[in-house]
Structure 1
Amino acid sequence: MKHDHFDELQQKLQLAFTRPKLLRQAFTHTSYVNENKRGSVQDNERLEFLGDAVLQLLVSEHLFTAYPKRPEGELTRMRASVVCEPSLAYFAERLELGKHVLLGRGEEQLGGRHRQALLADLYESFIGAVYLDSGVEHTRAFLEKHMFPFIESNNYGLLMKDAKSKLQERSQHHGLGQVDYRIVDERGPAHVREFSVEVYLGETKYGVGTGRTKKEAEQRAAAEAWNRLSKSE
């Protein structure tokens, strides 16, 4: 991946990294490092660790301020629904971060660029890099623009339940029929299995999802169906 791809990303997100190598590291998956051992290429796992902590803090701060009457237990549940794999992958997809990630050929062939777990980790490492490069104020400002306004958006509703629960409730409320998840494909060896699932409401297909587990694939299919229903209302 050429550096101009990262220049394009910075322009799009209105960022100006003083340490471009930090940004590149945030997008370097372990599979890429394993296949490119020459030089001092570093993967993004340490940045992912830091980004998770930064997100926990700043999302907590946002919820604490935005919901002054909510008790601690409810705020904890709300934070967990935001700083979790499906929602972080959603935010990574919103920013099209996946197209910039550096992957090994094996991971690329398995569709890693679109895998939910990888995208969630990528979002964390990216936020970790923003924090290290420009500090907490700039990171907060970035999240206030690109994350916080969408936490309660009608298109995703992150502070609600998981996608399968939301779809079930919506289907019952609107009388759309039984929610049925059907596995349509399984591929890859056992340690890197990938499942494809379609979700039907009654006899109509509303969404498709892929994942390393059946549960992950079902959640992605449910999220797609939920979004489709939201847009049609």
Structure 2
Amino acid sequence: MGFINKILFSKSRSHEDGIFFSDLKKILGFDPINTDYYKKAFTHRSSNKLDEKGNPINYERLEFLGDAMLGSVIAAHLFSKAPGGDEGYLTKMRSKIVSREHLNELGRDLNLAKFIESKIPLAHFGENIHGNVFEALIGAIYLDRGYLFCEKFIHTRVIIPYVDIAKLEGKVISYKSLLIEWCQKEKKHFHYDVFEDNALDGQRLYGVKLSINGKVIAKARATSKKKAEEKASQRAYFAFQEKINRK
């Protein structure tokens, strides 16, 4: 009986591996060789898995590697396609492409969350989980197939569909940073007054009042201080847009 259960279990796992391989191949555009790298790329630390040496098995180290690979491929592309851009320009453009917001969008578009193995429900994760596993996937590709396959994947999934240099030049990735830079340049005093607030359904929110030279310019509410400050900064930006964009 135990032998039969073992066979059934083995067939079940093989079936799951087959589905994983098939779904992964559609995303990658090529056959993965060692699927263990990719399984690790989708393993959250809450799974509490360890390898034979007692090292944790999760996507965090792969995320680090993938971030480096992504940055290098994007840097090479910009260096080639923007020959007139200086170091500051290239750095700013790369930051726009690999911004956390954009990486989260890439992870969501590929529906990578469906692969995540975790003891925590997906609904309890923040938005960054999508970008984290996207970077981890790139790290897994590098270990499995090397730099050229990694480069090809980034070109196919990131550069071709999303990287338009002309559009990126006008894209704002942080209204708060833009506004602070303008205030400092114009010697204007700014202040973010942050306070906790509650929605009608009891959800904890954060309210922000943004003042410039002692006058409240914008207000906003969001589920985190960072989001509330960014939202208020965006509203203030549109109030001063002509002055901020003036050369």
Aligned-partner SS, 2:146: helix
Cα distance in 1 for residues equivalent to 2:105 and 2:140: 19
Counterpart residue identity of residue 162, structure 1: I
Cα distance in 2 for residues equivalent to 1:38 and 1:137: 28
Aligned-partner SS, 1:147: helix
Alignment-derived partner of residue 157 in structure 2:
146
Please state how far the C-alpha of 1:84 moved relative to its aligned partner.
Answer: 2.4
Counterpart residue identity of residue 50, structure 1: L
Please state how far the C-alpha of 1:85 moved relative to its aligned partner.
Answer: 1.2
Counterpart residue identity of residue 22, structure 2: D
1:29 paired to 2:44: yes
Q: Normalising by the residue count of structure 2, what TM-score does the alignment of the two structures yield?
A: 0.61
Match of 1:19 among 7, 13, 34: 34
Cα distance in 2 for residues equivalent to 1:158 and 1:88: 18
Structure 2 residues without counterparts, runs of 5 or longer? 1-12, 180-196, 208-221, 232-247
Match of 1:119 among 111, 124, 130: 130
Counterpart residue identity of residue 132, structure 1: L
Deviations along 1:154-193, one digit per CA (max 9) or x if unpaired, are 9x9587212757xx9xxxxxxxxxxxxx985775xxxxxx
Q: How many residues are matched?
A: 182
CA pair 110-93 structure 1, distance change in 2 beyond 3 A:
closer
Please state how far the C-alpha of 1:92 moved relative to its aligned partner.
Answer: 0.9
1:62 paired to 2:73: no
Deviations along 1:90-138, one digit per CA (max 9) or x if unpaired, are 1111211112111213xx16432xx322112111111000111111111
CA pair 38-139 structure 1, distance change in 2 beyond 3 A:
closer
Is the Cα–Cα contact under 8 Å of residues 41 and 136 in structure 2 kept in the other structure?
A: yes
C-alpha root-mean-square deviation of aligned residues, in Å? 3.8
Deviates more, 1:39-48 or 1:124-133: 39-48
Please state how far the C-alpha of 1:143 moved relative to its aligned partner.
Answer: 1.1
Please give the residue correspondences for 1:89-168 in structure 2 after superposition, counting only pairs within 5 Å.
89-105=104-120, 108=121, 110-112=123-125, 115-149=126-160, 150-152=162-164, 157=168, 160-162=171-173
Alignment-derived partner of residue 74 in structure 1:
89
Please state how far the C-alpha of 1:89 moved relative to its aligned partner.
Answer: 0.8
Q: Percent identity?
A: 27
Counterpart residue identity of residue 111, structure 1: H
Aligned-partner SS, 2:57: coil
CA pair 13-144 structure 1, distance change in 2 beyond 3 A:
same
Structure 1 residues without counterparts, runs of 5 or longer? 169-181, 188-193, 198-208, 221-233
Cα distance in 2 for residues equivalent to 1:134 and 1:151: 24
CA pair 64-99 structure 1, distance change in 2 beyond 3 A:
same
Deviations along 1:23-75, one digit per CA (max 9) or x if unpaired, are 1000111112x2x5698871111111111111111110011111111111110
Alignment-derived partner of residue 216 in structure 2:
none
Counterpart residue identity of residue 75, structure 1: L
Is the Cα–Cα contact under 8 Å of residues 48 and 126 in structure 1 kept in the other structure?
A: yes
Is the Cα–Cα contact under 8 Å of residues 21 and 32 in structure 2 kept in the other structure?
A: no
Is the Cα–Cα contact under 8 Å of residues 186 and 196 in structure 1 kept in the other structure?
A: no
CA pair 82-7 structure 1, distance change in 2 beyond 3 A:
same
Alignment-derived partner of residue 213 in structure 2:
none
Please give the residue correspondences for 1:159-198 in structure 2 after superposition, counting only pairs within 5 Å.
160-162=171-173, 184=199
Deviates more, 1:40-49 or 1:21-30: 40-49
